[in-house]
């Protein structure tokens, strides 16, 4: 009985921390319409700032607490609202989610950069050593403080939202922004108050939870993220139900920690489950609660575009990938070539986002988890370099994708992102760390002793074990996947995915099978990710489960969004940026530079949600494609520079710099006036005709819109 009371009090304390965190998250969403995935990262930064003031600089406890919660955290919230969140007007819900995820990744990377992760740090509780004795039960003053603060937060938020003018205006702005503005409400002020308050509550929770574990960015961020389950139980709008959810979450977590390890049968399999209890509750809450339209700012118009790739362009890109890889393999140093063998695995995982996120508008945060499943399959079935293991990896992960997609049939937007994040965290914390088990008489061991040795494939007499051969083979596999995605985009199924992204209700009304389309795109996306994970593991040859954690997958997603998640060229950028040797060679000591660069670039997606390929590269290069002589000169110049590199006239860096100069100069040359002016062609305007038009003009417009090729008569 004594243990039960102790675990109950501990669970109530944990529930209080979760309640504070979830209430801040709910407040931000109900008043601004933005779900802040960076909420946990804000609390993590606050905990580190408190440790810096209290432990390193010997600032008194009360003063350090007040400075962090009442000054630094609100200023951070105000900066996020002014610099980031205000730019999200007119973007889809996917873009809003991606931007807040980028903020979270950027804050985690900054913390790892500013505070050495190899140093052990602890945070002293607010009332260290003081306890209240009640019979045989001892309750620390710190636990009592948490419970009192949770009650004060609940009462304060209730008064703010229902008893103050600014609180009523904040809720009204989300319900009907236009009507609220006509009645004198100021949306900017309301948003600032919400972000100030939400960030202060995140900081409070971060400081209170920090004494429960060593101060480390990722565990602390994910521990606060556990509170998202409480917010979901409250359906992101009800503060009383949010506190009920926090109570359930806190008690279940501490009871599990106390009692599950004592179970005799299967105890070794439950050890990792204890760490996954919060995400399991989150997943169960998402499945059990009735779905309803999320409250938020209604999207009246969008600035996001989705162009249709041509077969000619896709074939050129696929050929460029293979030929360029073969050229690179001849000049890269041995170490750089080995590091680059993982490029095409990462690129295939990035390609898996294109049909799911870019076309269907369904955000998934578990694609790298699918990659981990693919790596496990190919490690166990690819002994001796059996190439059929790659096919098995794609097929198995496609099946898992269908299972994960079943909740997607009734979830969308934020709820779907949370469910896929929960699945990814469950893989990280529990599934990938399971000990060996037996299925139908066969022993299965996922990540044997923490890592997997994966053999590279062998195609008959062709051995791909060498770095150069495998690098080129990976490019061929990626090129085939690229053409598959282009084929899907140009098919009726691809146009259906775009329509489903814009209006699922309208698609269902017109007779489209939305369920089948959702399951199909999840299966395709998961299969590509599983194949990418298999190639990724083969490139490294020995891979640990930590390679497939949630935040690494988020980095790939953000790189895709920065480049343009709806374009098939974006995975090439993501693969080389994240897997290539360029940044590592230039800045070997800045281990977080890649994550920080991607995160801050993704934050700017709110201003330009189409990515730099659609917004910048494509408009610049279209004139080059229409100038055959210039294009031929460009290719000849690149070939000459490559010949000079093969002849050792140029070293690698000189070759790269000169090639980039030639490539960058081509669009500028294409815009120079020709010696003989081209006869102006009549054009079609969206709002009427500007001069006469010809059948080839209509055909060009059909191609740009991705319409079927039809015969057009002369006017």
Q: In this structure, are 460 and 351 located in the same domain?
A: yes
- Say yes or no: 254 and 284 in one domain: yes
The CA distance from 706 to 360, in Å, is 16
Q: Is 679 inside any structural domain?
A: no
Which of 582, 610, 638 marks a domain boundary? Answer: 610
Does 481 score more than 80 pLDDT?
Answer: yes
Domain that holds residue 531: 311-610
Query: Do 78 and 171 sit in the same domain of this protein?
Result: yes
Are residues 657 and 581 located together in one domain of the fold?
Answer: no
Are 280 and 333 in a shared domain? no
Asked if residue 206 belongs to a domain, the reply is yes
Over the stretch 310-339, which tens digit does the pLDDT of each residue have? 888 899 899 999 999 999 888 888 888 888
The Cβ of residue 302 has, within 10 Å, a number of other Cβ atoms equal to: 12
What's the Cα-to-Cα distance from 652 to each of 32, 245, 292, 331, 528, rounded to whole Å?
A: 50, 58, 57, 7, 33
Residues 503 and 636 in one domain: no
Q: Average pLDDT of the chain?
A: 80
188 with 318, same domain? no
Distance CA 625, CA 633 (A): 12
Both 209 and 177 in one domain: the answer is yes
Residues 265 and 380 in one domain: no
Assigned domain for 689 exists: no
Other beta carbons within 10 Å of 250? 25
Contact 241, 73 (CB under 8 A): no
Out of 171-180, 268-277, 549-558, 579-588, the most confident range is 549-558
Same domain, 277 and 318: no
List all residues 6 or more positions away from 512 whose beta carbon is below 8 Å from its beta carbon: 496, 499, 500
Same domain, 148 and 47: yes
295 assigned to some structural domain: no
Banded pLDDT at 593 (limits 50, 70, 90): low
Q: Could you give the C-alpha distances from 343 to 455, 532, 631, 662, 715, in angstroms and in order?
A: 17, 10, 27, 24, 51
Comparison of pLDDT for 385 and 693, the residue scoring more = 385
**pLDDT tens digits along 597-651:** 777 777 776 666 677 666 667 777 778 877 888 888 888 998 998 898 888 888 8
* Residue 619 placed within a domain: no
Domain-located, residue 683: no
What's 104's domain CATH number? 1.10.3470
Is 418 domain-assigned? yes
- Res 354: pLDDT: 93
Is it the case that residue 143 has pLDDT exceeding 60?
A: yes
**Closest C-alpha to 414, from 96, 81, 23, 42:** 96
564: left (phi over 0), alpha (psi -120 to 50) or beta: left
User: What's the pLDDT tens digit per position in 393-407?
Assistant: 999 999 999 988 887
Query: Is 701 domain-assigned?
Result: no
Helix axes 550-563, 413-429, angle to 10 degrees: 140
Assess whether 453 and 505 both reside in one domain.
yes
Per the structure, the count of domains in the chain is 3
Minimum mean pLDDT among 273-277, 449-453, 577-581, 698-702: which range?
698-702
Mean pLDDT of 248-269: 73
């Amino acid at each position: 009985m004594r243990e039960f009371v102790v675990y109950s009090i501990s669970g109530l304390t944990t529930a209080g921390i979760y309640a504070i965190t979830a209430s801040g998250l709910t407040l931000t969403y109900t008043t601004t319409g933005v779900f802040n995935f960076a909420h946990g990262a804000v609390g993590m930064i606050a905990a580190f700032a408190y440790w810096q003031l209290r432990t390193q600089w010997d600032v008194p406890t009360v003063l350090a607490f007040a400075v962090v919660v009442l000054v630094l955290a609100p200023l951070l919230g105000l900066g996020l609202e002014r610099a980031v969140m205000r730019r999200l007007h007119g973007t889809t819900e996917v873009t809003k989610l991606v931007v807040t995820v980028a903020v979270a990744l950027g804050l985690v990377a900054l913390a790892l950069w500013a505070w050495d992760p190899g140093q052990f740090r602890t945070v002293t509780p607010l009332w260290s050593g003081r306890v209240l004795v009640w019979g045989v039960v001892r309750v620390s003053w710190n636990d009592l403080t948490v419970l009192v603060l949770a009650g004060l937060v609940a009462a304060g938020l209730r008064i703010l939202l229902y008893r103050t003018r600014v609180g009523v205006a904040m809720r009204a702005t989300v319900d009907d922004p236009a009507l609220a503005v006509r009645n004198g409400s100021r949306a900017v002020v309301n948003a600032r108050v919400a972000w100030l308050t939400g960030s202060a509550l995140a900081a409070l929770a971060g400081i209170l939870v920090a004494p429960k574990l060593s101060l480390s960015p990722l565990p602390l961020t994910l521990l606060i993220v556990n509170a998202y389950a409480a917010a979901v139980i409250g359906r992101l709008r009800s503060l009383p139900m949010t506190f009920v959810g926090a109570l359930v979450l806190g008690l279940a977590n501490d009871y599990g920690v106390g009692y599950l390890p004592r179970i005799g049968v299967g105890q070794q399999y439950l050890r990792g489950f204890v760490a996954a209890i919060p995400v399991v509750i989150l997943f169960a809450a998402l499945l059990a609660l009735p779905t309803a339209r999320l409250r938020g700012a209604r999207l009246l118009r969008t600035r996001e575009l989705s162009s249709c790739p041509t077969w000619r362009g896709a074939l050129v890109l696929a050929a460029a990938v293979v030929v360029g890889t073969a050229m690179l393999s001849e000049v890269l140093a041995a170490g750089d070539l080995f590091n680059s063998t993982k490029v095409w695995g990462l690129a295939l995982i990035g390609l898996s986002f294109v049909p799911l996120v870019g076309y269907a508008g369904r955000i998934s945060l578990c694609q790298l988890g699918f990659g981990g499943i693919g790596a496990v399959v190919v490690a166990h079935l690819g002994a001796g370099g059996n190439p059929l293991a790659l096919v098995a990896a794609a097929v198995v992960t496609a099946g898992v994708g269908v299972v994960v997609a079943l909740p997607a049939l009734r979830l969308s937007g934020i709820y779907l992102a949370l469910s896929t994040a929960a699945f990814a965290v469950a893989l990280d914390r529990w599934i990938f760390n399971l000990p060996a088990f037996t299925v139908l008489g066969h022993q299965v061991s996922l990540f044997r002793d923490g890592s997997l040795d994966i053999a590279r494939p062998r195609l008959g007499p062709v051995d791909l074990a060498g770095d150069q051969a495998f690098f080129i083979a990976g490019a061929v596999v990626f090129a085939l996947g690229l053409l598959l995605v282009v084929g899907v985009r140009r098919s009726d199924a691809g146009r259906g995915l775009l329509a489903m992204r814009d209006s699922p209700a309208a698609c269902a009304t017109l007779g489209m099978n939305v369920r089948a389309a959702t399951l199909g795109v999840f299966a395709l996306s998961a299969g590509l990710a599983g194949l990418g994970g298999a190639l990724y593991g083969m490139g490294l040859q020995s891979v640990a489960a930590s390679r497939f954690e949630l935040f690494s997958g988020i980095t790939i997603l953000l790189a895709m969004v920065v480049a343009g998640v709806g374009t098939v060229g974006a995975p090439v950028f993501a693969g080389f940026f994240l897997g290539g040797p360029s940044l590592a060679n230039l800045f070997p000591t800045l281990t977080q530079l890649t994550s920080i660069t991607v995160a801050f670039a993704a934050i700017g997606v709110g201003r330009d949600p189409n990515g730099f390929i659609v917004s910048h590269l494509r408009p610049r290069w279209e004139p080059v494609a229409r100038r055959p002589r210039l294009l031929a000169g460009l290719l000849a110049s690149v070939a000459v520079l490559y010949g000079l590199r093969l002849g050792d006239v140029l070293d690698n860096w000189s070759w790269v710099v000169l090639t980039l100069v030639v490539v960058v100069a081509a669009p500028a040359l294409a815009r120079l006036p020709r010696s003989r002016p081209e006869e102006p062609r009549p054009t079609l305007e969206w709002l009427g005709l500007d001069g006469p038009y010809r059948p080839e003009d209509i055909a060009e417009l059909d191609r740009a819109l991705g319409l079927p090729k039809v015969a057009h008569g002369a006017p």
